[in-house]
Structure 1
Amino acid sequence: MPELDAEDAKLVTLARSARGRTGAPEGAAVRDTDGRTYVAASVGLRSLRLSALQAAVAAAVSSGVEGLEAAAIVSDADAVEQEGLAAVRELTPSAPVHLAGPDGVLRLTV
């Protein structure tokens, strides 16, 4: 498995932090085209359910972001969830989305 570049490795670190801080099943971080990052954990309210990636993209979009450079998710899952991936692709079809395990080890990039 290829190593992440330093900037994408930071996204994994931020996603791990969000997950650990909240005790959520997943954490995510996205970097916009200006280099700013947005971090979120999954949301599991009765009235609102968002994956961590959906929540991070929502935070970015609500701040006026028009494009993403990359995204990272930290989760026990074996695949990137499709709704969050679709949100990233809607903004920037070519942005890499990295999935890492809770230990921060990269599992795959889509």
Structure 2
Amino acid sequence: MPEQIFDASPVPSADGGAVLSAEDAKLVTLARSSRARVGAVDGAAVRDQDGRTYAAASVALPSLTVTALQLAVAQAASSGATRLEAAAVVTEASTLDGAGHAAVRDLSTDAPIHVAGPDGSLLGTVTA
């Protein structure tokens, strides 16, 4: 199977007064914890249609590379999720990884993807 390549998505700047809902703030907290626990480059969390959350960190092995957001979406899908309500990524990057973005869009065309820095501060939200 040929490797798929997805372009990174720009992250719109967060409105200075932007405040996440308690449920979306929980996603950022879970993503931060996943990232910090293993010292990964990125951490991510998603919430499915039933309110269940799934968190993951990026994986980089010699034979397998998976972004945190791809892995969180895969966990949700393998647990029976058919739709995502929201997602969050904690990263040092200024863009959202294209593969993770595509994975979220596979389950939801309109779920917001909140992108936060390592300190948990909201960098922006990708809605398209």
Short-chain TM bin: over 0.9
Of 30, 38, 44, the residue aligned with 2:60 is 44
Corresponding position of 2:46? 30
Residue segments in structure 1 that go unaligned for 5+ positions in a row: none
- 1:1-110 alignment, distance < 5 Å: 1=15, 2-110=18-126
Greater C-alpha Rg? 2
**1:79: Cα distance to partner?**
1.1
| TM-score, with structure 1 as normaliser | 0.98
| Aligned-partner residue type, residue 9 of structure 1 | A
With normalisation by structure 2, the TM-score equals: 0.85
Equivalent pairs, count:
110
Instruction: Please state whether the residue corresponding to 1:49 is helix, strand or coil.
Output: strand
SS at match of 1:54: helix
User: 1:105 & 1:22 partners in 2: Cα distance?
Assistant: 20
Residues in 2 aligned to 1:47 and 1:89: alpha-carbon distance in whole angstroms: 26
Q: RMSD across aligned C-alpha pairs, in angstroms? A: 0.5
Q: State the percentage of identical aligned residues.
A: 63
Partners in 2 of 1:108 and 1:48 — Cα distance? 29
- What is the CA distance between 1:13 and its match in structure 2? 0.2
Greater per-residue helix proportion: 1
In the TM superposition, residue 15 of structure 1 has moved relative to its aligned partner by 0.2
Q: Partners in 2 of 1:72 and 1:9 — Cα distance?
A: 9
